[in-house]
């Protein structure tokens, strides 16, 4: 292990360590270090007299409290984050000179923030929304931010329309409703009148918009970027994060109920997984395109409302990211982290994507207002691991104490330093793309096809996924009060697929379209979640159990499930323990009051002696709810009777136990399947 690698691996943790403070066992002081003798009562003129202005401790404490909140992000306000590391599998020297993509032995520290877009900081996490997936790489050449989403396209093509989009999707200004939801008039009015959003809407109304976990969703850079190698040769590139656990989602009814049962569901899942050592992993993939192939497709590669189909331009997997440490303080790290697509390193450059070009301005402007000035890069979570030297000075929150009399370039008093670095010395040099043209406010004709890839997405879905999209249209537009807007959306999506538009038109009281449709027959299997990886690893199983259970059978099954990476959590009537037939005690994690079937991936129903009707009633609620959400349910002992009583035995994904090893194997396979869509729900 070389010196540079050791520095790169350890320097971010060492850097953060100097800012950590553990107050346990310490004497209280003011922020100036003065020990405090009293923190219960303010200084007064007599016990019942007025508080005195000279009480500097009260003033400091109250002033700090009054200023503890900073403006929340306009978008992506509701977020959660974790630390980790990234390693490239093989050198990418052929394509880029970015150092962190060269040496497979080097671990680059990363910080990743997941988020929803539309809701405020206090909103629920399982709402239907786009999810942010932003990664900060602390490289030896400086910070590189890959600021993406869990959907590879966007609503609009030009950044000048972004304020309009967000104004439309946010709570309507006359009544500040609804929170964290797109199911209202102004959003769908925007969509109907800005039809470039058609492709994004198909993703937004698919299962992708309600992920089961941050650990089980893809990430995309959205935009077209450039890789540039040390010979100056460029390739267009799109970035992908592929979750090792596969891509999985909630069902809509389940997502809504989780919002009430546990609005912190996704962050809790991430936090607990890392604490348990089930570190989330994502492989980094790139789609690479030679510059001479820029115009060979039936879509514009710079259009952010378009994907590059993976069957046409394969994704090359180049490395893995592992999230292995939770934050120490959500405000100091998650809230104060400042991402920016313009934070790049040599070897990574931009394209002329008009949405990306606008983001390059917007992000710096956002950090200035949120974080109080131009020195947000000095906050511990944002500081690069490499030193930084320039002539920028002063400003709010300045931490660096610059020494010397020179703060300008060029100079002779400091030997003309700090001085620019040549390209050979690692200086960033922009790719020399030839640019010419008249100054115009217009859009390329190649950006004007809004429906072909929306049709491609629809064609790529399984029948179940198509049904979910129809249901999503029906729900969202069913909340729209204006009949004209509902009809406009029906007519708009008739251009994508007549069957789709007609199906939800009936549900929302609109006139089904008589003409339209698309002649696009192409599909992309990579777009369907039915084709994702399926594994039982880290799945959470609720174990419904009461006193009198078959000890030998249950303990063997729980051990077998844990051996497959499954996480059983015991649910019963009250906290404490339940006692098995031979006196074995099992600790209870949740009660029927504190848990809910929507919070588990599967159920293992054991029951007990069968003497408690209240237990059986609670258990039947759990079983019916999980069954209606197509989840796997295993049962042994008295639990089998309850499933048979409910008429669920024999349904897909229902596993009844007789021989222990066969039960474990079959139940594990059922859990890995995630959902059993061919189940008949009555």
- Give domain status of residue 74, yes or no: no
328 contacts 117 by C-beta, under 8 angstroms: no
The structure tokens listed for 546 are: 């009461």
**Do 302 and 263 reside in the same domain of the chain?**
yes
Catalytic residues: 76, 149
Sequence-distant (6+) residues with CB within 8 A of 662 are none
Residue 6 binned pLDDT confidence (cut-offs 50, 70, 90): low
pLDDT in tens, 168-183: 999 999 999 999 999 9
Q: How many CB atoms lie within 10 A of CB 666?
A: 16
**Do 499 and 642 reside in the same domain of the chain?**
no
pLDDT in tens, 313-358: 999 999 999 999 999 999 999 999 999 999 999 999 999 999 999 9
pLDDT in tens, 94-133: 999 999 999 999 999 999 999 999 999 999 999 999 999 9
Question: What's the rounded Cα separation, in Å, for the pair 126 and 265?
Answer: 7
338 contacts 362 by C-beta, under 8 angstroms: no
Residue numbers of the domain that contains 540: 534-673
Residues above pLDDT 90, as percent of the chain: 84
Cα radius of gyration rounded to whole Å, the chain: 28
**Do 570 and 639 reside in the same domain of the chain?**
yes
Question: What's the rounded Cα separation, in Å, for the pair 474 and 418?
Answer: 61
Question: What's the rounded Cα separation, in Å, for the pair 247 and 244?
Answer: 9
Query: What is residue 5's predicted lDDT score, i.e. its pLDDT?
Result: 53
- Give domain status of residue 439, yes or no: no
**Do 116 and 231 reside in the same domain of the chain?**
yes
**Do 368 and 497 reside in the same domain of the chain?**
no
The pTM of the full predicted model, rounded to 2 decimals, is 0.94
Domain final position from 530, 560, 576:
530
**Do 593 and 463 reside in the same domain of the chain?**
no
The structure tokens listed for 62 are: 């109250």
The helix (H) or strand (E) run that includes residue 319 is strand 316-326
* Segment 629-656 mean pLDDT: 94
CATH number at residue 202: 2.40.180.10
Domain final position from 498, 530, 562:
530
The structure tokens listed for 82 are: 């974790």
**Do 657 and 569 reside in the same domain of the chain?**
yes
Q: Closest Cα partner for 269 from 305, 218, 316, 215?
A: 215
- Give domain status of residue 129, yes or no: yes
**Do 263 and 344 reside in the same domain of the chain?**
yes
Q: How many domains does the chain have?
A: 3
- Give domain status of residue 223, yes or no: yes
């Amino acid at each position: 292990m070389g010196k540079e690698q050791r520095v790169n691996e350890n320097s971010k943790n060492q850097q953060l360590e100097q800012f950590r403070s553990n107050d346990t066992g310490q004497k209280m002081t003011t922020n100036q270090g003065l020990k405090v003798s009293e923190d219960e009562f303010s200084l007064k003129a007599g016990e019942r007299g007025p508080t005195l202005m000279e009480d500097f401790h009260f003033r400091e404490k109250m002033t700090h409290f009054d200023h503890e909140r900073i403006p929340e992000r306009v978008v992506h306000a509701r977020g959660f984050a974790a630390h980790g590391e990234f390693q490239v599998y093989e050198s990418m020297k052929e394509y880029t000179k970015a150092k962190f993509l060269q040496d497979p032995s080097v671990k680059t520290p990363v910080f990743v923030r997941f988020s929803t877009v539309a809701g405020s900081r206090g909103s629920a996490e399982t709402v239907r929304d786009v999810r942010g997936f932003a990664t900060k790489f602390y490289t030896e050449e400086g910070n590189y931010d890959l600021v993406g989403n869990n959907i590879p396209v966007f609503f609009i093509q030009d950044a000048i329309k972004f304020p309009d989009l967000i104004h439309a999707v946010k709570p309507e200004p006359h009544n500040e409703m609804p929170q964290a939801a797109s199911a209202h008039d102004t959003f769908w009015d925007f969509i109907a009148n800005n039809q470039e959003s058609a492709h994004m809407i198909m993703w937004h109304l698919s299962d992708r918009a309600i992920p089961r976990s941050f650990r089980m969703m893809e990430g995309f850079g959205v935009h077209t970027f450039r890789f540039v190698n040390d010979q100056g040769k460029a390739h267009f590139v799109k970035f992908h994060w592929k979750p090792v656990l596969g891509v999985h989602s909630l069902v809509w009814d389940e997502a809504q109920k989780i919002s009430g049962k546990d609005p912190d569901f996704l962050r809790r899942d991430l936090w607990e997984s890392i604490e348990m050592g089930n570190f989330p992993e994502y492989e980094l993939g790139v789609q690479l395109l030679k510059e001479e192939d820029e115009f060979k497709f039936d879509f514009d590669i710079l259009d952010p409302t378009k994907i590059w189909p993976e069957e046409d331009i394969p994704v090359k997997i180049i490395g893995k990211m592992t999230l292995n440490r939770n934050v120490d303080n959500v405000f100091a790290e998650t809230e104060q982290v400042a991402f920016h697509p313009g934070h790049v390193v040599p070897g990574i450059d931009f394209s002329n994507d008009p949405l990306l070009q606008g983001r390059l301005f917007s992000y710096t402007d956002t950090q200035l207002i949120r974080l109080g000035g131009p020195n947000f890069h000095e906050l511990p979570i944002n500081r690069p691991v490499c030193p930084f030297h320039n002539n920028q000075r002063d400003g709010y929150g300045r931490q660096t104490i610059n020494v010397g009399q020179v703060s300008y370039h060029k100079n002779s008093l400091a030997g003309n330093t700090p001085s620019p670095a040549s390209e050979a010395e690692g200086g960033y040099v922009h790719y020399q793309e030839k640019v010419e043209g008249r100054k115009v406010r217009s859009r390329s004709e190649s950006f004007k096809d809004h429906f072909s890839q929306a049709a491609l997405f629809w064609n790529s879905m399984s029948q179940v996924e198509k049904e979910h999209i129809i249901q999503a249209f029906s729900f969202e537009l069913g909340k729209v009060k204006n009949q004209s807007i509902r009809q406009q959306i029906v007519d708009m999506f008739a251009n994508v697929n007549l069957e789709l538009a007609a199906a939800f038109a009936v549900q929302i009281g609109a006139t089904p379209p008589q003409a339209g449709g698309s002649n696009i027959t192409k599909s992309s299997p990579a777009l369907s979640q039915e084709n994702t990886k399926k594994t039982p690893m880290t799945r959470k199983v609720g174990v419904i159990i009461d006193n009198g259970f078959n000890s030998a059978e249950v303990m063997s099954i729980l051990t077998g499930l844990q051996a497959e990476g499954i996480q059983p959590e015991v649910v019963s009537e009250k906290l404490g323990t339940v006692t098995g037939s031979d006196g074995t005690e099992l600790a209870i994690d949740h009660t029927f009051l504190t848990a809910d079937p929507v919070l588990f991936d599967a159920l293992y129903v054991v029951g007990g002696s069968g003497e408690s009707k209240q237990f059986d009633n609670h258990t039947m609620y759990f079983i019916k709810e999980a069954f209606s959400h197509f989840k796997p349910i295993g049962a042994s002992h008295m639990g089998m009777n309850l499933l048979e009583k409910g008429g669920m035995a024999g349904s897909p994904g229902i596993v009844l136990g007789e021989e222990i090893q066969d039960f474990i194997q079959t139940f594990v396979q059922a859990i890995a399947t995630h959902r059993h869509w061919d189940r008949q729900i009555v």
